[in-house]
Amino acid sequence: MDKEGQEHALDGGTTADNTTTDGGGEIPVDDEQAGNATGTPEAAAQVSAGGEWTKGATYSVGDVVTYFGASYQCRQGHRVDAADWTPPNTPSLWLPVAGSVAPPPWAQGKTYAVDERCSYDGQNYTCRQGHTAHAANWTPPNTLDLWLPDQ
C-alpha cells in the first residue's frame, strides 16, 4: 500500500485501484482504457445504437453502425481519418454483427461501388473495385478480382 492507502501491483497487471503496472512502475489507466466505460464487465457488453458509418466520425467501443446494409460493432475506439477505413476493410476496428441485414442478391446490369455487398448462391461478397455487371458471367465467383468473398 502507498501512503494514501491504495494497493499497487509491482509485477505487471491491473490493480484494484485500476492502475496498470509494467513491472517497473505504475501507469494510471482510466476505465475506458481498461476495457469498459464504467469499470464493470456488464458495461462492456452494452451496445450503443448508431447510424450510417461516416468518414470523419469518432467511434467508441461498442458503437454499432450500418454500412451498405450490414451492421458492424466497433472493436476499438477510433476516428475515421481515411475514406478507405470502412468496416469491411478494417476488421481490427469493426466486427460484423451476426444476423444483420443480408446484402441484396447480385444483379446483372447493376453498378456496384467499392465496399458494396451482394449475395450470390448463398455466399456474401464485398465489391473490391467499382464496376457495372454488364454480362451474365460477371458473377462474383467468376470475377474474384472484382469481388471478395465474406469469411
Say how many C-beta atoms besides its own lie within 10 A of residue 60's C-beta: 13
Q: How many CA atoms lie within 13 A of 8 on its CB side?
A: 18
Q: Which domain holds residue 118?
A: 111-149
Q: In terms of domains, do 23 and 51 share one? A: no
Burial of 117 (0-12, 13-18, 19+ CB in 10 A): buried
Q: Are residues 37 and 52 in the same domain?
A: no
Cβ atoms of residues 148 and 125 within 8 Å: yes
Q: Look at residue 125 in the predicted model and tell me its pLDDT.
A: 92
> What pLDDT score does 76 carry?
94
Judge whether 102 lies within some domain.
no
Residues 54 and 80 in one domain: yes
Res 50: pLDDT:
67
CATH of residue 124 = 2.10.10.20
Please tell me the distance from the alpha carbon of residue 29 to that of residue 20, in angstroms, as a whole number: 6
**Grid coordinates of 122:** 448463398
58 and 90 fall within a common domain = yes
- Regarding whether 92 and 52 lie in a shared domain, the answer is yes
The span from the CA of 6 to the CA of 16, in Å, is 8
In a domain, 36, yes or no: yes
Together in a domain, 120 and 90: no
Q: How many structural domains compose the chain?
A: 3
Q: Looking at the domain assignment, is residue 7 inside a domain?
A: yes
Clarify whether residues 51 and 91 are in a common domain.
Answer: yes
Q: Do residue 7 and residue 36 come from a single domain? A: yes
Cβ neighbors of 24 (< 8 A, separation 6 or more) are none
Give the model's pLDDT for residue 21: 39
pTM, entire model: 0.44
CA quadruple 80, 118, 111, 141: dihedral sign: positive
Mean pLDDT by 10 residues, the chain (151 residues): 43 41 37 36 38 91 88 92 88 83 88 91 91 95 94 73
125 with 90, same domain: the answer is no
**Assigned C-alpha cell, 44:** 462492456
- The DSSP secondary-structure symbol of 141 reads G
